[in-house]
Amino acid sequence: MEFYYLKLHTVIKQKLQDYQQLMKLNLSMLVVFSSIVGYLMVPEIKVEISKLLLLFLGGMLVTAAANATNELLEKETDLLMKRTMKRPLPDKRMSNLEAIIFTGIVLFAGLFILYHVFNPLSALIALISYLLYSFLYTPLKKITAVSVLVGAIPGSLPCLIGWVAATNHMGSLAAWTLFILQFFWQFPHFWSIAWLGHEDYEKAGMKMLPTSAGKVGQYTAFQCVLYSAVLIPLSALPMIAMPETYSWISFGGLVIAASWMLYNSILFLKDNSDLKARKVMFSSFVYLPLTLISLIIDKFI
């Protein structure tokens, strides 16, 4: 009896790990956290824990569906890359049908929550984000590096979804503030990752760097510098859009985060090495949570 219990426990644990990989849980949580910040950024919003949890759940489910669709469409490609070949679909631990059923269930559930708990507009934006990521960004990766630009749109929409969930409108600069910051952040973030994984991406036929020369030359590093630099003046956007809500503390946090990423991008430009690219990547990992925290810190002090 104990043997069968242990075997069942092992099977369940493996299956949960497979679903975690299919939905890219860690990445999804960071993306969905931006929707919570977008919701909390609304000046007149009354914070309700139950609403925040439901917004997080709805966003997480739609994001999980997008990531699962991405892995379904890239199953053969993932098999060619060292970092993805052990995912459940290329490793044949999960069938296409199982992944499709999972995707359909979580997509419907996520959109249902956004539609009925919040408003139809937030659900519509979430659906657009899912479609752009799954059926435009994903196939474009094998065609052109413009895919990074396309992917930056659904990558930035969660924060707009949060704002719309609270207000049912998106017709103001305030609504688009976090979207703009997150949009420009994604370029040095993705290009530093693409630099480090270039050999793998090239083997799979993916065009992820902004130049066909690959890791030859300084063009990629220059683009990282350019987009990181743009984030510094953009740090003033929240104070311009909502001057009554944001203090110099928020502005300072955004400037520090952007300056740190710019500093590392300049080092990358001076020395086109994997070490410097990795520092850009890590500084981009710091930028987003620091920015998100800076944007809501005034609500809690």
Q: Say whether pLDDT at 170 is over 60.
A: yes
pLDDT of 20 reads: 86
Which band of pLDDT confidence, cut at 50, 70 and 90, is reported for residue 131?
very high
CB atoms within 10 A of CB 53: 11
Take residue 45 and report the two structure tokens written for it.
């919003």
191-240 confidence digits (pLDDT tens): 999 999 999 898 888 989 998 888 888 999 999 999 999 999 999 999 89
Buried b (16+ CB within 10 A) or exposed e, 141-176: beeebebbbbbbbbbbbbbbbbbbbbbeebeeebbb
d(C-alpha 219, C-alpha 199), whole Å: 17
d(C-alpha 5, C-alpha 10), whole Å: 9
Taking alpha carbons only, the member of 201, 76, 99, 217 closest to residue 148 is 201
Take residue 269 and report the two structure tokens written for it.
């430009």
Please report how many Cα atoms fall inside a 13 Å half-sphere around the Cα of residue 222, on the Cβ side: 7
What's the distance, CA 46 to chain centroid?
A: 26
pTM value is 0.92
Take residue 227 and report the two structure tokens written for it.
């987009």
Taking alpha carbons only, the member of 11, 137, 130, 151 closest to residue 64 is 130
For residue 177, give the amino acid letter: T
d(C-alpha 71, C-alpha 89), whole Å: 7
d(C-alpha 251, C-alpha 133), whole Å: 31
Which band of pLDDT confidence, cut at 50, 70 and 90, is reported for residue 107?
very high
Contact 218, 267 (CB under 8 A): no
Place of tokens 């069938």: 95
Place of tokens 């993805």: 84
d(C-alpha 107, C-alpha 160), whole Å: 18
Which band of pLDDT confidence, cut at 50, 70 and 90, is reported for residue 1?
low
The CATH superfamily assigned to 1-158 is UbiA prenyltransferase (1.10.357.140)
d(C-alpha 37, C-alpha 132), whole Å: 22
240-255 confidence digits (pLDDT tens): 998 888 888 889 999 9
Buried b (16+ CB within 10 A) or exposed e, 261-279: bbebbbbbbeebeeebbbb
Q: Say whether pLDDT at 47 is over 70.
A: yes
CB atoms within 10 A of CB 199: 12
Q: Is the dihedral of CA 206, 207, 212, 213 positive or negative?
A: negative
